[in-house]
Structure 1
């Protein structure tokens, strides 16, 4: 893994001569955030050594390098999911590459199903914690100390410092922002009524199929994380409407202007 990461980093640095400060993983329906970036390089995943290629609708599949104000950033247009058939090391590989290109702060976005009755479709949730129920762990196996320690302290998966700044930015820009706990499941099926009930009982506010592995690997390398989730459907175990991927993308698209503004202003003033 170490050699593959370094090979990919060398390739990208040779191509771009870039050392981004902030990494961004753009979730379902949020790919147009790149319009807020003064883009200098766009490299398709298919051209990057050791990178897999995203197979999910709504995920474009490119690394975008550029600037937001004075900050240099790299954004992933499309992420990789465990349910696509990739192992956890492959799913999280780009996070390791971003770290060794220079990233110290990672912003992760996603779409999720809400179980908190105070949520509604379109709400923007600032993640304060997560519950990992994926069937595999991205740090399982031999640990390479060059990446990080064998046992990782996960008491602060989402940076309190970054969260407080995001709340301040939201308040200043009249963006309604709620917070909550995200539960990660494998997918690709949406949850059953009983599973939504389980998510709620376990103490989570929303549920999705990404983010948790990426944040674990980021914290393994001491990268601070900000997590933002858009509620794209509500799971009431007594009465749930049918949901499909197109509806999830549509709901995320409606919330997109506010999410884009939040992330852009956060980066400008962080």
Structure 2
């Protein structure tokens, strides 16, 4: 069955008449508290949105929050669905296409991830500059929907260079260490074996997790600009004596949560000013 993002978007629009978000945010495992900072216009449970896939994972509240954060109009997904939950991969296209139909231009993603580098341990933040999709899955497999994008599209600069520069500048201003690296998407739901981690190291990733690439693929297909931040919750399997578990992931996600919240809020504040300046410039050029 083909899911319809238009039905989902129309439902959300009725819940928040006249509200148009500019930025979409997806919050990963243990990071949902950021949603509480939003000046709320509407809160909608995923289960009430037509065709919307529902998360079954602890730490993913399953709500869409509409409102303002850092003065920016946002649509925030408090939790996401993963391939390992057994959904049809194509179903993961719907949430991002719905956000596009609501009006967003930029997608900001967060996730919890394990680190391949001891100097980037638990409590660190990593801005994603590129990814390796090791799942061999893609929400865009199947008939192309020409309404949203072309059959074939480039993934060079999938993580927008200008947004990355902006994030780095904000982190520096706030005194927050923001690493930059390559994210590897592992299917899960099990954590990786030490042998797999040793094999992955030869590919050159800096962090590993079980999400994010589906949203990036769909977002780039429909022309959205993307930025993403990993909250490092552990060293990868075999790199420490700590036993990996989802409970540990949720607990360690809290370590850098305050830094992540500050970074996102100030990023949105400054982004709003930049978008306003760009709008003024384009208007003046149009008049001239």
Q: TM-score range by the shorter chain?
A: over 0.9
Question: TM-score normalized by structure 1?
Answer: 0.96
Contact in 2 for aligned 1:199/1:205 (Cα 8 Å): no
Q: Which moved more, 1:240-249 or 1:259-268?
A: 240-249
For the residue of structure 2 that corresponds to 1:266, the secondary structure is helix
* C-alpha displacement of 1:34: 1.3
Larger Rg: 2
* C-alpha displacement of 1:19: 1.4
For the residue of structure 2 that corresponds to 1:254, the secondary structure is coil
* C-alpha displacement of 1:145: 1.1
Contact in 1 for aligned 2:46/2:63 (Cα 8 Å): yes
Aligned to 2:251: 250
Aligned to 1:13: 13
Contact in 2 for aligned 1:199/1:206 (Cα 8 Å): no
1:49 partnered with 2:56:
no
Aligned to 1:241: 242
Structure 1: unaligned runs, 5 residues or longer: none
1:113 partnered with 2:117:
no
Q: Report 1:1-270 matches (<5 A).
A: 4-17=4-17, 18-235=19-236, 237=238, 240-270=241-271
Contact in 2 for aligned 1:63/1:77 (Cα 8 Å): yes
For the residue of structure 1 that corresponds to 2:164, the secondary structure is helix
What is the distance in 1 between the residues matched to 2:202 and 2:76?
35
Instruction: List per-residue Cα deviations over 1:207-226 (Å, max 9, x = no partner).
Output: 11000111010000110111
What is the distance in 1 between the residues matched to 2:3 and 2:93?
15
Instruction: List per-residue Cα deviations over 1:71-99 (Å, max 9, x = no partner).
Output: 11010011000000011121232111001
What is the distance in 1 between the residues matched to 2:16 and 2:215?
24
Structure 2: unaligned runs, 5 residues or longer: 272-288
What is the distance in 2 between the residues matched to 1:152 and 1:65?
30
Question: TM-score normalized by structure 2?
Answer: 0.90
Structure 1 residues 85 and 161: alpha-carbon distance in aligned structure 2, compared to 1, 3 A threshold? same
For the residue of structure 1 that corresponds to 2:255, the secondary structure is helix
For the residue of structure 2 that corresponds to 1:241, the secondary structure is coil
Contact in 1 for aligned 2:193/2:237 (Cα 8 Å): no
Q: How many residue pairs get matched? A: 270
For the residue of structure 1 that corresponds to 2:228, the secondary structure is strand
What is the distance in 2 between the residues matched to 1:266 and 1:2?
36
Q: Give every structure 1 segment of 4 or more consecutive aligned residues whose post-TM-superposition deviation is greater than 3 Å.
A: 236-240
